[in-house]
Structure 1
Amino acid sequence: MIDQTERTPEQTRDRGGLSVTQQALDAQTALLPYALAVFSVSLPAYVWAGSHAENAVWMSGTFAIFAAAWGAFYAVVNWLKRPEARTDLAMRGRIQIFSGLLWAAAVAQMSAFADGAGLAREPLLLMSLAAAIVVIFFAASWLPSLLILGSAAVAGPLFFLFSRPETRELANIAWGAVALALALALIVNRILRSQFALAVEREVLIADRAGMVDAANKLARSKSDLVATLSHEIRNGLTGVAHVLSAAVGHNGRSAPSREQLAAALDAANDLISVLNTTLDSETAEAGRLSVDTRPFDPVALIRDLVLLNRPNASAKALEINLHVSPELAMADRGAAIADVHRARQILANLLGNALKFTVRGRVEARIELAGSGRLAIEIADTGPGLATDELDRAFEPFHRIERTSAGTSGAGLGLSLSRQLARLMGGELTGHSAVGVGSCFRLELPYDINALPDRDGQAAEAAAPIAVERRALRVLIAEDDALNAAMLRAVIEQLGHQVVHAIDGRRAVDLSKVCEFDLLMIDGRMPNMDGPATIAAIRALDGSMRRVPIVAVIGGDATEAMECTQAGADAVLRKPVSVAAVARAVADAIAVERDEPQIRVVA
């Protein structure tokens, strides 16, 4: 059950569409026309009884007051039917109480007239009391209205009944009738509030169900798009790589592949890795599990490095690529962007890569400037084909590629959507504007502190590839049951200049650690016979120097797997798929860790 007492009416209305207060006011509004009808039907009886009163002028004034109250009440009823009357519950509640007070005042005036009506005094006072009980009935749906209007309506008749000794007994009976009417009205109000709360709960459940259905549909569409995109990109890329590898091993009597074919296969493999990494990041961000590590960094140095890295690609396409730094940033000796330098590099690399990919002739420009108090703007502009407004909107949607401009190019259609998600995670924003036939400009805004000093060491480590490690050749033991993953990891480690010994599972890794000396262990997180955490724990329990050997856990990306490995004693965590830079960084982090004061690092 949903506890309605823990949610304000506004919060309930936002989630379920109707609040208890609004439903109570709606119920009272629905009863108001019947109140008019009741008072109209009762008027002839009151006129007949009042005709026996001694003061005819006062009787006429009473009728005039009754007619004025009836007219004002009729106007209020009509106003409450309008749509604008439903928007402000506080105003609506005040107006409904005010309109009820009109009838309470009319009843009080009728009671005052009845007190001086001679022989008609008692019948008229009882009719006034009946009118007050009618007010109680029609105010029962909303508790504030019931308490205020009920008390105000019965005050006049009871006062005049108790004011004379000859009607004291009748007053006691009237007081009992009023108490019974109020008690019944409170019971009705309690029942109605329970019904209103159930209706609110039903509305909330319906809204939640609709939200879950929308989320499920969105997830289904996302998974369908994911499968379609990956199947297309992976099928095409792997087919090309397979053809080259087939030629390399001499299948079908073909000659060895040329350097150009090997380069094409390498490009296809790198494209596949890029697509997979982007897809995984996008799915992780969509699930809300993507985190950023914000710290001050030098944005000018970052964009300058990226422009230099992309200059050969621009030259190969005969494109001009330039960087424009605003004077206030070029001259400043302080100030830093406050964001995750790795993710900022990822966004800007994607924007520059897109600009170079889709621009056939002309130039690509990167501009960096301050965009107001506490904000920094980096713009990437090109002279490419440009996008229409609807095309630009679709370009920011996951798995959407613009067919007019994307023909013949690889990609999953996730770069811009992921970049926007990353920018928002860092407190920034990514926007774009474009014109067909003119070009496009994408603008990344990030938080900026003019007094901060950039973390240049961390930024340099981020930009460096490969990372500097121990110059001496290390003896590295890798424990990996998958032959392909083991071959890839061995190739990368040997490329870094180290010696490798391969163990096919965790148990074999423990046995080798007992009889051999290694400088570094790289343990897969998930293996048969003995998994990664168990292997790491067993090695840490050994006697001798091997219990203090640096260990890198190689995992598939699961946060639980990473936590299990670090708790078992891993010094660093390396996520698959591995790259030269990532392996070098993981090795450097593991070697640098002191066993007495471990500092766990996770390397993507």
Structure 2
Amino acid sequence: MLAERRQNDNTMDGARVAKALDAQAALLPYALGVFAISLPLFVWVGSFAANRIWMTASFAVFAINWGAFYAAINGLRDDASQDLGRRARVYVLCGVMWALAVVQISAFAQGAGPARETLLMMATAGAVLCAFFAAPYLPGLLIVAPLAAAGPMIAHFSSGGDRQEGELTFGATALGLTLALILNRMFRRQHDLSVVHEQLVEERLRVLEGAERTARSKSDIVATLSHEIRNGLTGVTHVLAAAAGKGGRAAPSREQLNAALDAAQDLIAVLNATLDSETAESGRLSVEALPFDPARLIQDLVLLDKPHAAAKGLELAVHIDPLLRGRDKGAAIADALRTRQIVANLLGNAVKYTVRGRIEVRVELRGDQVAVEVADTGPGLSTEEMEQAFEPFRRVERTGAGVNGAGLGLSLSRQLARLMGGALEARSAVGVGSCFTLTLPFDDAAECEFEEELEASASEPPGAPRTLRVLIAEDDALNAAMLRAILEQLGHQVVHAQNGRRAADLARIAEFDLLMLDHRMPVLDGPGAASALRGADGPNRNAPIVAMIDGDGEEATEFLEAGADIVLRKPVSVAAIARTLADAAALDRRDVAKSEAA
């Protein structure tokens, strides 16, 4: 906080200096005009002086000053004029040169004979003018004004001249310096107001730009979702209508059912990507930094995509760096779920856009980072097309025609990689293929937590090894019916509560192996129900709790703080429920082992 305040103060001081130097620059032409008008009067008075050589020297000084002024004005028009220190030095030097001209006139007056007093008065007026034109920049004023006033003051009081004229010179220079200081103060106030006004304008422009960006984002979301949802739901509707026997049509074939299922899954993927993108854009997307085995994660994903690649006649190969095999220690430090999401998107794109050839996945250890490369022999992208591919809601027309998607996968993946302390880069060549590289932090001393339990749960069939008694709290009837169907399909017993209060009451009188709570429910929401279950004495106080959220990071944090153990994002699928039950079983085994050890 203190460093930020100091930075703001430094920015404010720099803006003040810039304003003062701008005002100084605006006065330079007027200073030249005043001294040009005064020159004929000086020549006329100097013509009465006894020493004509001093007159020649005065003309030479004036010529040098004018040349220096014009050089300074022209020199400060280039890019180097943005250097405030350089500008300040140039302005002070110009003021010092005119102050020295005043001193020279004072010295000239000492031997001017009958013109002495008039020349000294002119030197005094020159000193006052120097103070006035140096007023915008305080350091320059404090240097130039005393130097200019020193000439006539010393000339008056050192030669035993008229004391009254000396006092008049002292009063005039003192008054001129005082007025210059007052003028400087007025300049500072005006500059402060101008700086604040500019900051307010910049802030308003930033807010306006953010609002316009948000409006464009919302418009893109509506356009994308309307297109994808309309097309997907149209196909699903036709298949369901055929299944219901409407219109006298025959029952749908297996191919039609698979196409409808693919369309529904594409819709879910589009919605999930859109929600994640909006959450990341607003800065509310949270990621974890936990150790995990990147090699095993990549191998699992490749196994899932191999059937899709084989169906298109593509070769899908994976190469693991030998340094990552057989290690007792060492793990990637990132969010395993988000890493899986990124790599799954890269693999999915490679399979989707590659017509023939092969897809190769490489996992390599590069110093303190682990790199995952996904290379394909697809159509490839040009530099402009690659930049477009990473923009939200932008799709490359040459390669994306006829392919479903929201155009969010790559942009969201890059955001996720940056949030985890890594990066997502790409290189491509048209007609050759593309290669996307994900890099994540790697710690040689880290160990994957509960590795044995995870391996054991992964080796078990989907679902838990025994029949579980599951309590679900869900107010939406359709979601509850779908969740019940999945759990019963996996061989478990289900009890349904329509709100969090009912779930808490049931948990006090009956024993359950697992509790699944929705976030938004009437009477008592999910976090409130989880907190009530953890705080009450009963058979389910230590039972695993699964939090079902809509994808908001704040919802997950609220649920975990209330006592939930596992977070499950909706819409749910059979695979997601099976993994959740396996995680709950592994969690239950760790709790039993800890209690037995205690």
TM over 0.5: yes
Q: 1:120 aligns with which of 103, 115, 119?
A: 115
What SS does the corresponding residue of 1:431 show, helix, strand or coil? strand
Q: Distance in 1 between matches of 2:448 and 2:62?
A: 81
Name the CA shift for 1:171/1:583 in 2 (closer, same or farther; >3 Å): farther
What SS does the corresponding residue of 1:94 show, helix, strand or coil? helix
Deviations 1:273-331 (A, max 9, x none): 22211111111111112222224444333333333332222211111122344566669
Counterpart for residue 493 of structure 1: 487
Counterpart for residue 281 of structure 2: 286
Counterpart for residue 390 of structure 2: 396
What SS does the corresponding residue of 1:39 show, helix, strand or coil? helix
The 5 Å alignment of 1:557-568 reads: 557-568=551-562
The aligned length equals 588
Q: 1:33 aligns with which of 12, 29, 36?
A: 29
Q: Distance in 2 between matches of 1:199 and 1:510?
A: 61
Counterpart for residue 476 of structure 2: 482
Superposed displacement of residue 125, structure 1: 1.4
Superposed displacement of residue 402, structure 1: 2.0
Q: 2:513 aligns with which of 510, 514, 519?
A: 519
Name the CA shift for 1:445/1:253 in 2 (closer, same or farther; >3 Å): same
Q: Distance in 2 between matches of 1:322 and 1:286?
A: 34
Name the CA shift for 1:162/1:24 in 2 (closer, same or farther; >3 Å): same
What SS does the corresponding residue of 1:244 show, helix, strand or coil? helix
- In 2, are the aligned partners of 1:523 and 1:554 still within 8 Å (CA)? yes
Q: 2:434 aligns with which of 436, 440, 453?
A: 440
Name the CA shift for 1:369/1:520 in 2 (closer, same or farther; >3 Å): closer
Deviations 1:138-178 (A, max 9, x none): 11111111111112111111122222444333322322222
What SS does the corresponding residue of 2:491 show, helix, strand or coil? coil
What SS does the corresponding residue of 2:162 show, helix, strand or coil? helix
Q: Distance in 1 between matches of 2:546 and 2:371?
A: 38
Q: Distance in 2 between matches of 1:546 and 1:335?
A: 37
Counterpart for residue 309 of structure 1: 304
Superposed displacement of residue 6, structure 1: 5.6
**Alignment partner of 1:47 is 2:40:** no
- In 2, are the aligned partners of 1:553 and 1:572 still within 8 Å (CA)? yes
Name the CA shift for 1:581/1:150 in 2 (closer, same or farther; >3 Å): farther
Counterpart for residue 73 of structure 1: 69
Q: 1:168 aligns with which of 163, 176, 182?
A: 163
Q: Distance in 1 between matches of 2:200 and 2:387?
A: 33
What SS does the corresponding residue of 1:545 show, helix, strand or coil? coil
What SS does the corresponding residue of 2:171 show, helix, strand or coil? helix
Superposed displacement of residue 461, structure 1: 4.6
Q: Tell me the amino acid that sits aligned with residue 16 of structure 2.
A: V
Q: Distance in 2 between matches of 1:535 and 1:326?
A: 47
Q: Tell me the amino acid that sits aligned with residue 261 of structure 2.
A: L
- In 2, are the aligned partners of 1:341 and 1:459 still within 8 Å (CA)? no
Q: Distance in 2 between matches of 1:180 and 1:493?
A: 93
Q: Distance in 1 between matches of 2:273 and 2:452?
A: 22
Q: Distance in 2 between matches of 1:445 and 1:536?
A: 37
Superposed displacement of residue 244, structure 1: 3.2
**Alignment partner of 1:356 is 2:342:** no
- In 2, are the aligned partners of 1:479 and 1:524 still within 8 Å (CA)? yes
Name the CA shift for 1:118/1:392 in 2 (closer, same or farther; >3 Å): same
**Alignment partner of 1:427 is 2:421:** yes
Q: Distance in 1 between matches of 2:147 and 2:9?
A: 27
Q: 1:455 aligns with which of 438, 442, 448?
A: 448
Q: RMSD between aligned alpha carbons?
A: 3.3
Q: Distance in 1 between matches of 2:414 and 2:169?
A: 72
Counterpart for residue 84 of structure 1: 79
Name the CA shift for 1:440/1:574 in 2 (closer, same or farther; >3 Å): closer
Counterpart for residue 234 of structure 1: 229
- In 2, are the aligned partners of 1:465 and 1:581 still within 8 Å (CA)? no
What SS does the corresponding residue of 1:52 show, helix, strand or coil? coil
What SS does the corresponding residue of 1:478 show, helix, strand or coil? strand
Q: Distance in 2 between matches of 1:26 and 1:278?
A: 50
- Stretch moving more, 192-201 or 466-475: 466-475
Superposed displacement of residue 537, structure 1: 4.6
Deviations 1:537-576 (A, max 9, x none): 5545655434454433323334454455445544444332
Counterpart for residue 149 of structure 1: 144
Runs of 5+ consecutive residues of structure 2 not aligned to the other structure: none
Runs of 5+ consecutive residues of structure 1 not aligned to the other structure: 600-604
- In 2, are the aligned partners of 1:467 and 1:585 still within 8 Å (CA)? no
**Alignment partner of 1:97 is 2:92:** yes
**Alignment partner of 1:130 is 2:125:** yes
Name the CA shift for 1:596/1:12 in 2 (closer, same or farther; >3 Å): farther
- Stretch moving more, 53-62 or 457-466: 457-466
Q: Distance in 1 between matches of 2:414 and 2:554?
A: 27
Q: Tell me the amino acid that sits aligned with residue 381 of structure 2.
A: L
Q: Tell me the amino acid that sits aligned with residue 392 of structure 2.
A: P
Superposed displacement of residue 530, structure 1: 3.4
Counterpart for residue 401 of structure 2: 407
Counterpart for residue 193 of structure 1: 188
Q: Distance in 1 between matches of 2:211 and 2:280?
A: 17
Name the CA shift for 1:69/1:6 in 2 (closer, same or farther; >3 Å): same
Deviations 1:88-137 (A, max 9, x none): 12111101111111111111121122123333322211211110111111
Q: Tell me the amino acid that sits aligned with residue 496 of structure 1.
A: L
Q: Distance in 2 between matches of 1:125 and 1:98?
A: 24
Name the CA shift for 1:437/1:270 in 2 (closer, same or farther; >3 Å): same
Counterpart for residue 602 of structure 1: none
- In 2, are the aligned partners of 1:461 and 1:467 still within 8 Å (CA)? no
Deviations 1:378-414 (A, max 9, x none): 3222222222332222111111122322233221111
What SS does the corresponding residue of 1:19 show, helix, strand or coil? helix
Name the CA shift for 1:249/1:393 in 2 (closer, same or farther; >3 Å): same
Name the CA shift for 1:334/1:575 in 2 (closer, same or farther; >3 Å): closer
- In 2, are the aligned partners of 1:9 and 1:19 still within 8 Å (CA)? no
Q: Tell me the amino acid that sits aligned with residue 94 of structure 1.
A: R
Q: Distance in 2 between matches of 1:84 and 1:251?
A: 75
Q: Quote the sequence identity (%).
A: 59
Tell me the TM-score normalized by structure 2. 0.88
Name the CA shift for 1:470/1:596 in 2 (closer, same or farther; >3 Å): closer
Q: Tell me the amino acid that sits aligned with residue 53 of structure 1.
A: A
